[in-house]
Amino acid sequence: MRLPQKLTFTKMEGIGNDYVYVWFEDLDTPLTDPAPLAIFMSDRNYGVGGDGLVLIGKSKKADFRMRMFNNDGSEGNMCGNASRCVGKFLYEHGHTGKTNITLETKSGIRTLELTLENNKVASVTVDMGRPIVKPADIPMKADGETFINQEILVNGSCIKGTGVSMGNPHFVVTMHDIASLDLPAFGPLFEYHELFPERVNTEFIEVLSRQKVRMRVWERGSGETLACGTGACAVLVACVLNNYTDKKATIELRGGELVIEWAEDGIVYMTGPAREVFSGEIELI
């Protein structure tokens, strides 16, 4: 099967984390290799423009299924901001009338709870799963059961951080004045560090109080983005492990705020907005 010459898409954003969303009934055909399409659609000059491409379709294991691709074509395991947008897309584009949706991702099945205002999705709470803190499972090339506030050597300097996986690997670093951080120069030093065999998303944070944390993120495969849902969850987990914050806090990202809770059931829940920017049709080249 071949792709059509023109492809219908929807551009959406979750606190500035913007992706191009495309519905396919079956995500495995006709698109057998989504990487080139992701690169093209994400291009802000020649394509639609975004942090990546999200494919949405039917699932044999849940209500629906999503696959997300970074703007370099690499496939990610999970994206919290994208999953909120998927919930809004499914409801407002008539694919479901449910406000509690199960969603199959590469990191497992997640639950989306939609909050409606005037029959529109105002916010979405996502079950982000249980955090993984064992280095071998993040994965990190390190021994032990956890990697909490430990030093790694980056460009000749010893920098402390905490490793967490939320279905994808994260490294959380506490700093002062993250606004002045030269992230394009600094971020790749972590992303391609030998400690992380599958590369890593890196969050640089300032703890403002027991209930609020400010962060910037360098995402593997995308560079700096305005927001990262799994990153915000990893930040909350890292802050709790270091006794910086309570188990529920607001994470302030460059694109907006997310409320993250590490609940008593061990699951991390993320609540935040989603917005449709525009829909259209693009000619494929």
Residues designated as active site: 79, 228
Extended strands (E) in the chain: 6-14, 17-23, 52-58, 64-70, 75-76, 100-105, 108-117, 120-127, 150-154, 157-165, 169-174, 201-209, 212-219, 223-225, 248-253, 256-262, 268-272, 275-283
* CA dihedral over 109, 113, 75, 240, signed as positive or negative: negative
Q: Consult the annotation and say whether 80 binds a ligand.
A: yes
Measured distance CA(79)–CA(30) in Å, rounded: 23
Q: Provide φ and ψ at 139, rounded to 5°.
A: -100, 150
The answer to whether the annotation marks 219 as part of a ligand binding site is yes
Exposure string of 55-69, with b = 16+ CB inside 10 Å and e = fewer, is bbbebeebbbbbbbb
In angstroms, what CA-CA distances link 149 with 45, 144, 238, 241, 246?
41, 13, 9, 9, 17
Residue 70 assigned as binding residue: yes
Residue in 271, 202, 209, 257 with CA at minimum distance from that of residue 235: 202
Q: Is 50 annotated as a binding residue?
A: no
Give the span between the Cα atoms of 273 and 134, in whole angstroms: 31
**Could you count the other beta carbons within 10 Å of the beta carbon of residue 265?**
9
CA 98 to chain centre: 23
Q: Is 230 annotated as a binding residue?
A: yes
Q: Does 229 appear as a known binding residue?
A: yes
Token pair of 246 as six digits: 């309570």
Non-local CB neighbours of 117 within 8 Å, separated by 6+ positions: none
Binding-site residues from annotation for substrate: 17, 70, 80-81, 168, 201, 219-220, 229-230
Q: What residues form the annotated binding site?
A: 17, 70, 80-81, 168, 201, 219-220, 229-230
